[in-house]
Amino acid sequence: MLDNLQFSEVAPLSITSLVINLVIGAILSILLKFHYKRFGSTIANREEFSNTFPFVLLTTVLVISIVKSSLALSLGLVGALSIVRFRTPIKEPEELSYLFISIAAGLGLGANQTVPTIISIILILLIISLLKIRKNSSIEKNMYVSIEYKNFRDQNGSEITKSINEIIKENINKFDLRRLEVGKNFVEITYLVNIDSLNNLEEIIKKIQNKYSDISITYIDQNQVPSI
């Protein structure tokens, strides 16, 4: 009975089909990389993480193309993977999602389901793009802006605060003063501001620093603020 399984028999692998699938996989991985860098919201370095997509996708294509023609190789792959341990932590669910898309694309291409795989990946990325755009347009882009001005002379702290308020008011429609501390030679102010893009923030910083050259400004992003 075991002899009928023919573990040693391996079906021939089409080199042409493999090369075509690898080329298509490379194109899909570049598309996936671009999409992650454009729409990803993780704090980690998106450029460095997205560089792993081609490796994962193309390796999956190769592995599936080889083992699909042989039961013995398939069983050997299961045994090999059982002793592999990946120590790099995935801190963001979004990172895991993009890795899963890469593996799914590799599985589809490796199984010669080229057209369904291409259509599926494009539709998935399109849906994710629409959801991201809708989310970014519906949520408020809140940001904390902390301003410190120390060791100034011959200036009034209250006048400095009033001047900074006027600058922010000119460039931001909605803001909230969260913390204010005025001392003899220092002023510390924290605002919660709502901005449409980083251009608003850059304009505020430029105007404040032009007027007070020694001032220190720190901002903390509360949501994903669009860079364009």
Tell me which of 48 and 142 has the higher pLDDT. Answer: 48
Instruction: Specify the higher pLDDT residue, 96 or 84.
Output: 96
What pLDDT does residue 208 have?
Answer: 83
Cα 208 versus chain centre, distance = 31
Quickly count: other Cβ atoms within 10 Å of residue 98's Cβ. Answer: 24
Average the pLDDT over each of 126-130, 166-170, 216-220 and give the range with the smallest value: 216-220
Backbone angles phi, psi at 73, to 5 degrees: -65, -35
**pLDDT at 227 exceeding the cut of 50:** no
Domain ranges across the chain: 2-138, 142-221
Query: Using only C-alpha atoms, what is the Rg of the chain?
Result: 27
- The answer to whether residues 70 and 30 touch, using CB atoms and an 8 Å cutoff, is no
Cα–Cα distance list, 110 to 59, 92, 120 (Å): 10, 28, 15
The fold of 142-221 is Alpha-Beta Plaits (3.30.70)
Least confident of 75-89, 102-116, 130-144, 204-218: 75-89
Global pTM value: 0.56
Lowest mean pLDDT of 27-41, 72-86, 214-228, name the range.
Answer: 72-86
Average pLDDT over residues 165-186: 79
Percent residues over pLDDT 90 in the chain = 16
Residue 126 identity (one-letter amino acid): L
